[in-house]
Structure 1
Amino acid sequence: MAEVNTRSLVIVGGGSAGWMTALYLNRLFNQDRKNFDITVIESPDIGIIGVGEATVHSVRFFFAAMGLDENELLRATNGTLKTGIMFRDWMKPRDGKTHEYFHPFEQARLGRGLDLSSAWMVTGRDRAERYDEGVSLSAALIKKGHGPKGPNSAPYQGAVPYGYHIDATLLARFLRGKAVDAGVRHVEATVTDVRVEGENIVAVQAGDAEYCGDMFIDCTGFRGLLIEKLKPGNWNSFEDALPCNKAVAIQRDLVGNEVPNPYTVATALSNGWAWQIDLTNRQGTGYVYDGNRISKDEAEAELRAFLGPQSNVLKCTHLNMKVGCREEFWIGNCIATGLAGGFIEPLESTGLHLINLAAGLMGTHLLAEEASQASRDSFNRLMRGFYQDLKQFIVLHYCLSNRDDSDFWRAAQSTVKHTPWLESQLEIWKHKICEFHDLAGSFSTTFSDENYRYILYGMQHYPALNFQMDKSAADSLFSQMKLMRENALAVTIPHGEFLDRLKM
């Protein structure tokens, strides 16, 4: 067997992107034999944005694969569990009731004949319940205040799929500790210069030292300090389809004896939407908005009014968001990931998921002794595909709204024009159920036809179906669902009780 030379990999920037990538690549490449010397250069002067405090459920598998203790992770990050997102006010009130729907992580699978979604549709159940209430278990759990865990649930296991609410700053600190313990070199210094030859980075200057490397990973946030040196302006903006380009984030105390919710809340406001994410020690909130329509002061005032006078604000931060992604994530010997690679507004909590995807692709594309242009093209094609798929899924939330109380919402309905595939599918989905084959062949790794249905039918975009189903067959199907919900409630405990157990 040929001798393998140890290569050097330099990650510039810490935060979730830098430390997730370092932890993953170190575990993959160096667990049995050292293939890469991995160094993370992290500036003590440049803070992380740290407001994206919710995840999708697949991040659970990343943490598990890294060998992290789930309870230790939750304690270290003031974490709570997340079974989905409750959307409020994304449409006009109906029959005097505030519009809301829940998007859980579940895959609704039941029935040997007509699938559960179709059965729900053709039996007129929309007159008595929301779609998510009819086809998921999570909606029943959150009504009773239950999370996904039982008293004896194994790590990373629950009655339903779940993600997390975590303090992003504490997560980066926790992952840094685990990565350093596993052999990753940590350098605290600010990069002041990037030395380039052709399409390759030769070294970076940080403090009084120069750091050379075979590969460089750019985790410097929106600045893209390394990748911009190789190809300035290498960016595909999504602002035509997703115009929310600013955010104001507020950290506040939980009010009174509030028990942290096991779900995120996303409430539509006048020119965007507000998130509410409960940690064990506080609530993270924020307003994602179109900065071309309202000022930062107006946005902050609207968010504070939404939260109410009882809120004890701990911290308020204004952010500019660069919505879009790189045309080329990998140029020469440099790969951009995290915010340096792209950003989709945090409506579906995909920030850590995209870091996870990029790290996985690095794990397969960096195995060769020398990277070929074919490998770079493959990596770039896949990453662009992930972002494009996520863009159209986020557009889906906006374009189905019937709100007309502001210019923002009146314009939101036409954002679908910038996602032609989605526009054509919405016409098709007026006449048939959204199904697996509609999305087969896409780049989507998290949001499938199941997820699309939760949004489509939560936003009342129902197909016009003309089909009669035997009442006894329908009753049997939904009786099974009722029994499954009862069983889920029986084996789970209130979310607050689970969090109290973590303190023991």
Structure 2
Amino acid sequence: MKIIIVGGGTAGWLTAAIIAAQHNGHLPGAPELVLIESENVPTIGVGEGTWPTMRNTLSSIGLKECDVFKRCNAAFKQGGKFVNWVNGNNDYYYHPFTVPTGYGRIDLAPYLSDITNFATLTNFQQDVCEAGLAPRTLAEQEYQGSCNYGYHLDAAAFGVLLKEKCINDFGVTHIVDDVKRVAVSPNGEIMGLTLENQGEISGELYIDCSGMHSILLGKALNVPMVDVSAVLFNDRALAVQVPYPSDAAPLASHTIATAQNAGWIWDIGLTSRRGVGHVYSSRYLSDDEAESNLRRYIGDAMNTLTPRKIEFNSGYRAEFWKNNCVAVGMAAGFVEPLEATAIMLVELSARYIADNLIPDSAATRVIAKRFNEQMHYRWQRIIDFLKLHYMLTKRQEQYWKDHTNPETIPDSLKDDLAIWHCRGPRVEDFKSAYELFPAASYQYVIYGMGFKPEFEKQEYLYQRKNEVESILRRTQQLTTQLLQNLPPHREYIAKWLSQH
């Protein structure tokens, strides 16, 4: 089988790496991978946050964690801090990557007197992040840690690292050229590509990683987008790279998302700089107003910076795999970067393709059908989860008030909330094999936003108070130990890398 990937960047090279690592392109009979990328199409390059899934992905493709940190100016990401999302009065809550103590065995929420402190009372990671600590000590091995974590990394440098791995270790053929024409058969199969300089090329499977252009699935096969802008309003972003005041400046080990009057600002700390950007809706905020928000947030350092403007339409493809073409990354869909779902979807999509490279047309039709079903479910869950961050707000700006309008809330999320008003999210609510976010994620967000289920109506169900008190004491003991033992984030990275 010959697989042609159109588009580089994180999506293209990560997809190539995952498939090539699993199928070992050097062996006879293994798939041949060809990646075509244009030097005239810049990558978006702002997807700098990952989920903990990336740890297994990097390990599986044979990358040393220390090399990723060195090459990509990487830092640890232990979750997200959401500032001013509730009422705009310096409130904040965390969505940590470590699940609550006792998770899956007992639901602690009904026993808490102040449910808005759910993350602090049931988990040590918020305190670890607030103290600016790393998720592990020097005694722990790479890809391990006392705290669950993902990464902050330079997306452009990450793409280069993956490209080198694919070409040097996996034998992926790299072609730098522009796709001039896509030949499509009467039955909708892609028959081949005509490149600007290198002529015609064809394969059995085409993977569209061409970003928002989607030149294969979108333009050639005419698969439309499903627009979700009525649910998620944001359609613009202004992004800048902010230098640290000194090499010893504190390094946050979490993404900071600070709500604004009509959107929010992300703040991602790499070892070399911060990636900062304002996501907003052009229906509520002009570009100049958004830049003013960004300047207020960044301060004097903004005087020497020019923001890069990114326009996008929130939505996903009506089909993700059509005939012999499958879209991965932004070619498949895009929503605002809240909760860093973009790279995680690339991982999941590439893993599915790698697991299902079966040279049988009848089987491929079933594989495509199942992939579409899974991805539709995942996109709906992403949209529900992101909307959850907005719809519980008490902020009074029109942008935020409109997010609470029931007409903008998906029916699937309304159904969940109808149940959670009575007893909160539980593990058993998320039994699908295709879930992206566990019940813990929903608990952190809705309780952090001040949503309190009516537990008292079934108070007789909650008779494990002594057990809960023991768990909460143990959590506080563990928090104290970690605060004593874990090193400062920047200090840990410097010492660890000096040893490798």
Letter in 2 for 1:27: A
Q: Decide whether the 8 Å contact of 2:12 with 2:35 is kept in 1.
A: yes
User: In the aligned structure 1, how far is the partner of 2:105 from the partner of 2:58?
Assistant: 38
CA-to-aligned-CA distance 1:91-115 (integer Å, 9 cap, x gap): 115xxx5210010011113289853
**Of 175, 179, 186, which aligns to 1:191?**
179
Q: Decide whether the 8 Å contact of 1:245 with 1:290 is kept in 2.
A: yes
Letter in 2 for 1:53: E
Matches within 5 A, 1:40-439: 40-93=35-88, 98-110=90-102, 114-119=106-111, 121=112, 124-126=113-115, 130-181=117-168, 182-198=170-186, 199-209=188-198, 210-256=200-246, 257-311=248-302, 313-370=304-361, 372-404=364-396, 406-414=397-405, 417-439=408-430
Q: Which moved more, 1:282-291 or 1:221-230?
A: 221-230
User: In the aligned structure 1, how far is the partner of 2:219 from the partner of 2:408?
Assistant: 34
CA-to-aligned-CA distance 1:267-324 (integer Å, 9 cap, x gap): 1001111100011111101111111222222212221122222446445210011211
Change over 3 Å in CA distance of 1:220–1:474 after alignment to 2: closer
Normalised by the length of structure 1, the TM-score is 0.92
Change over 3 Å in CA distance of 1:218–1:415 after alignment to 2: farther
1:484 corresponding residue in structure 2: 478
2:6 corresponding residue in structure 1: 12
User: In the aligned structure 2, how far is the partner of 1:461 from the partner of 1:313?
Assistant: 42
1:35 corresponding residue in structure 2: 30
SS across alignment from 1:110: coil
- TM-superposed CA distance for 1:469, in Å, is 5.7
**Identity, % of aligned positions:** 29
1:3 corresponding residue in structure 2: none
Q: Decide whether the 8 Å contact of 2:268 with 2:275 is kept in 1.
A: yes
Q: Decide whether the 8 Å contact of 1:90 with 1:268 is kept in 2.
A: yes
Q: Decide whether the 8 Å contact of 1:226 with 1:334 is kept in 2.
A: yes
- TM-superposed CA distance for 1:373, in Å, is 2.5
Instruction: Note the residue ranges of structure 2 that are not aligned, 5 or more in a row.
Output: none
Instruction: Note the residue ranges of structure 1 that are not aligned, 5 or more in a row.
Output: 1-6
Change over 3 Å in CA distance of 1:472–1:331 after alignment to 2: closer
CA-to-aligned-CA distance 1:205-225 (integer Å, 9 cap, x gap): 223222111111111100100
Change over 3 Å in CA distance of 1:444–1:289 after alignment to 2: same
Q: Which moved more, 1:175-184 or 1:300-309?
A: 300-309
User: Structure 1 or 2: larger helix share?
Assistant: 2
1:4 corresponding residue in structure 2: none
- TM-superposed CA distance for 1:491, in Å, is 4.0
User: In the aligned structure 1, how far is the partner of 2:450 from the partner of 2:219?
Assistant: 47
1:494 corresponding residue in structure 2: 488
SS across alignment from 1:359: helix
SS across alignment from 2:300: coil
CA-to-aligned-CA distance 1:43-84 (integer Å, 9 cap, x gap): 111110001111111111111111110010111001000000
- TM-superposed CA distance for 1:27, in Å, is 1.3
**Of 453, 468, 471, which aligns to 1:463?**
453
CA-to-aligned-CA distance 1:216-255 (integer Å, 9 cap, x gap): 1111100100112443252111111111011111111123
CA-to-aligned-CA distance 1:187-213 (integer Å, 9 cap, x gap): 111222212222111221223222111
1:441 corresponding residue in structure 2: 432
Change over 3 Å in CA distance of 1:457–1:111 after alignment to 2: closer
- TM-superposed CA distance for 1:166, in Å, is 0.5
User: In the aligned structure 1, how far is the partner of 2:286 from the partner of 2:110?
Assistant: 45
Change over 3 Å in CA distance of 1:424–1:34 after alignment to 2: same
Q: Decide whether the 8 Å contact of 2:217 with 2:327 is kept in 1.
A: yes
Change over 3 Å in CA distance of 1:308–1:470 after alignment to 2: same
Q: Decide whether the 8 Å contact of 2:101 with 2:475 is kept in 1.
A: no
User: In the aligned structure 2, how far is the partner of 1:502 from the partner of 1:314?
Assistant: 32
**Of 12, 15, 23, which aligns to 1:21?**
15
Q: Which moved more, 1:275-284 or 1:300-309?
A: 300-309
SS across alignment from 1:151: coil
Q: Decide whether the 8 Å contact of 1:400 with 1:461 is kept in 2.
A: yes
Letter in 2 for 1:244: N
User: In the aligned structure 2, how far is the partner of 1:211 from the partner of 1:193?
Assistant: 11
Letter in 2 for 1:365: N
Letter in 2 for 1:388: Q
User: In the aligned structure 2, how far is the partner of 1:374 from the partner of 1:246?
Assistant: 37
- TM-superposed CA distance for 1:487, in Å, is 2.9
Letter in 1 for 2:159: A
SS across alignment from 1:204: strand
User: In the aligned structure 2, how far is the partner of 1:118 from the partner of 1:499?
Assistant: 39
Q: Which moved more, 1:334-343 or 1:480-489?
A: 480-489
Q: Decide whether the 8 Å contact of 1:23 with 1:66 is kept in 2.
A: yes
User: In the aligned structure 2, how far is the partner of 1:408 from the partner of 1:147?
Assistant: 36
**TM-align CA RMSD:** 2.0
